[in-house]
Structure 1
């Protein structure tokens, strides 16, 4: 039987690994730029529920829509400004709010509407366009293409997820720190034979193995067991717990040097049922990630750092019958860092009365998340608004400056 990439993919379960979760397909990227402010972009995959994270308890319709989910300061959320409250799981970030290093934008979205597909929503978020296929690559890479002096370590896409927003012509280093690609010599040979007829996969395998050997030489990974009898399930070892803080620590280490842009994902935001527990865990990871970044870069660089966490869409205004929420439209954007003018919830609030909801089910978007991202890029990199609207986010009208940075 001829072994091809297709047959390898269909037999990935027999190999005991998921190629979608390995550095063979989803490498990590980094890059260095001619500006000083650091930018960290975090993609919150799964659709974060804006109404549970930044709770509009001051809206009279909120309590009726969310009967069992978190409901303002009376349910333990931290009051922000008398109208919004912060989910209890983000309580570790409340000091940043008080110091002006944490803020939010409520009721924003990409132009994506109605179909509410994770895949399309994430692609559109990272492409930064009004529709799928309207431009190649991602908006962060297109920003780098506008700037002189960009080098391969200017931006890093960190982790095991594909980061479309950093794909493109600008040089970006790719690496998967701690990805756990530990293979015996026999397993390496088998994988090489499987991929031999596909140059793309064969080269990716060789690169991933070389990067892993470099990691192991630095003590980053345990060595693979040289056991000819090892089963297929041991071909690739999964990374151990605490991956989010490990990625944040690695990003911080790079940002202390020449790197100016880092991007990675945090999963776990698709809370169709038992949202109370699922969202608590996801927000806990997000809080730990931000605090790890803050500690890792140190006070001086943190004062020159902007973090933006964005998601592909929000969730339904009403909770469903299983204690969760379904795919929606309007969502929230989180901003953090010493360079951020925080302590504010930006965005025009649309209201939660049924007539105010999008399709009578979702939080209605009143702002384009790309506009806030464009103004953030303008402040961080100095890129002109004309280039941002024509090339980075094609066809975007940035509108007025919301003053995101100090």
Structure 2
């Protein structure tokens, strides 16, 4: 099978939105049947706005007009709150199903979006490794008894780097094109069944996948992956695929548009509302499967502690991460808080990183799937032997 034909099928699966069933990825050891979802917020979300340290005495003066008012923030504990748009996340937190991690970062310490995303999604400690992502390599570490199928799920017009690699990946995205004619799928199937049975088999899988994800109804045209309505559609489609009895169990998707150099307050209110609605859609659409689900939300780096001249923030270092789902041991903020005084900032400008995101991801895989520390350090996150899996993240 040549790569160009697989790419054709990816395009068909993204735009056709028809439907059916697909094979399972795998199960954890024992009776568990978990789902692991990783959401990448591309563009670098400002962690000091999403999770404002309202109890830090230096926060309000440092952030100026961008500071989230303490009275408006959704309280988490004496030090931290949530942006007022994150009502579903706050509810999940207080239900013991969401954990907030702050002052965290990947190993990357420069401020290029492209390099930062490469490091975050590839799992390597330096940029330039774009041949595979850590979530795809994780699928390859699953032992035979945990593999009922062999596919990951990559959501978007292109598969996120985090899910690319040697393990088979199923691609799907909400259609942003005019709905296909009803007879297109049968005509294509007839053509390829006669001329190329292997391609016909892949097309059949793509048609069935789209039908599950779309809930048997066409998805109307919307904006890109940073559009609030598209975030919800992506969440709903992902959840439908993950709840299928013989569907996938591990998924990756990316929401875009978080690069807030100007007018940050207005833009983040809109983006965070869409993101929060997507979290609510995951919970609702997954139904009982929500109790077996862990969702990790990460971004490539944070933003400057101080505000720039256009009421925004520039590229920074440490930020926050979210962990939510019914399988999560929640109701906690995990943070070795470095403080916001000038002498405490990284290079005098950014929130200082104190938690390695690889420790969080390793902890999830170790506890959900019993993945060994050696496999995580050797294959999933190369060059990370010194980063121990964070324990106690899963119920």
Distance in 2, matches of 1:293 and 1:183, equals: 27
1:104 CA drift (Å): 1.0
| 1:315 equivalent in structure 2 | 303
Aligned CA RMSD, in angstroms, stands at 3.3
- Listed as ranges, the matches of 1:20-31 within 5 Å are 23=11
Structure 2 residue aligned with 1:33, among 19, 26, 29? Answer: 26
Distance in 2, matches of 1:32 and 1:213, equals: 17
Distance in 2, matches of 1:377 and 1:363, equals: 27
Q: Is 1:140 paired with 2:143?
A: no
1:107 CA drift (Å): 0.7
Q: For structure 2, list consecutive stretches of 5 or more residues without a partner in the other structure.
A: 1-6, 182-197
Can you list the C-alpha shifts for 1:331-362, whole angstroms capped at 9, x where unaligned?
A: 11011001111111112111111111111001
Structure 2 residue aligned with 1:261, among 236, 250, 254? Answer: 250
Distance in 2, matches of 1:209 and 1:271, equals: 41
Can you list the C-alpha shifts for 1:54-110, whole angstroms capped at 9, x where unaligned?
A: 111111111111111133422x01111011011001023222111111111101111
| 1:292 equivalent in structure 2 | 281
1:213 CA drift (Å): 10
Structure 1 residue matching 2:44: 3-state secondary structure: coil
Structure 1 residue aligned with 2:58, among 47, 57, 61? Answer: 61
Q: Name the CA shift for 1:381/1:214 in 2 (closer, same or farther; >3 Å).
A: closer
Structure 1 residue matching 2:352: 3-state secondary structure: coil
Q: Name the CA shift for 1:330/1:220 in 2 (closer, same or farther; >3 Å).
A: same
Q: Name the CA shift for 1:375/1:310 in 2 (closer, same or farther; >3 Å).
A: same
Q: For structure 1, list consecutive stretches of 5 or more residues without a partner in the other structure.
A: 1-18, 185-202, 223-236
Structure 1 residue matching 2:143: 3-state secondary structure: coil
Structure 1 residue aligned with 2:168, among 167, 171, 190? Answer: 171
Deviates more, 1:55-64 or 1:310-319: 55-64
Q: Does the aligned pair in 2 maintain the 1:178–1:220 contact within 8 Å?
A: no
| 1:109 equivalent in structure 2 | 105
Structure 2 residue matching 1:308: 3-state secondary structure: strand
Deviates more, 1:286-295 or 1:256-265: 256-265
| 1:126 equivalent in structure 2 | 121
Can you list the C-alpha shifts for 1:88-147, whole angstroms capped at 9, x where unaligned?
A: 010232221111111111011111112x11111111110011012358400001111111
Structure 2 residue matching 1:316: 3-state secondary structure: coil
Q: Is 1:275 paired with 2:264?
A: yes
Distance in 2, matches of 1:219 and 1:32, equals: 23
Structure 2 residue matching 1:284: 3-state secondary structure: helix
The two structures have a TM-score, normalised by structure 1, of 0.78
1:182 CA drift (Å): 5.5
Distance in 1, matches of 2:73 and 2:148, equals: 43
Distance in 2, matches of 1:82 and 1:214, equals: 46
Q: Is 1:305 paired with 2:293?
A: yes
Structure 2 residue aligned with 1:86, among 82, 85, 98? Answer: 82
Deviates more, 1:304-313 or 1:95-104: 95-104
Structure 2 residue aligned with 1:382, among 354, 370, 374? Answer: 370
Distance in 2, matches of 1:244 and 1:347, equals: 28
Can you list the C-alpha shifts for 1:234-289, whole angstroms capped at 9, x where unaligned?
A: xxx95467221111111111111332111111112111111111111111111111
Distance in 2, matches of 1:248 and 1:214, equals: 15
Distance in 1, matches of 2:172 and 2:269, equals: 30
| 1:15 equivalent in structure 2 | none
- Listed as ranges, the matches of 1:326-341 within 5 Å are 326-341=314-329
Structure 2 residue matching 1:263: 3-state secondary structure: strand
Can you list the C-alpha shifts for 1:167-209, whole angstroms capped at 9, x where unaligned?
A: 111122223343536679xxxxxxxxxxxxxxxxxx99xx889
The structure whose Rg is larger is 1
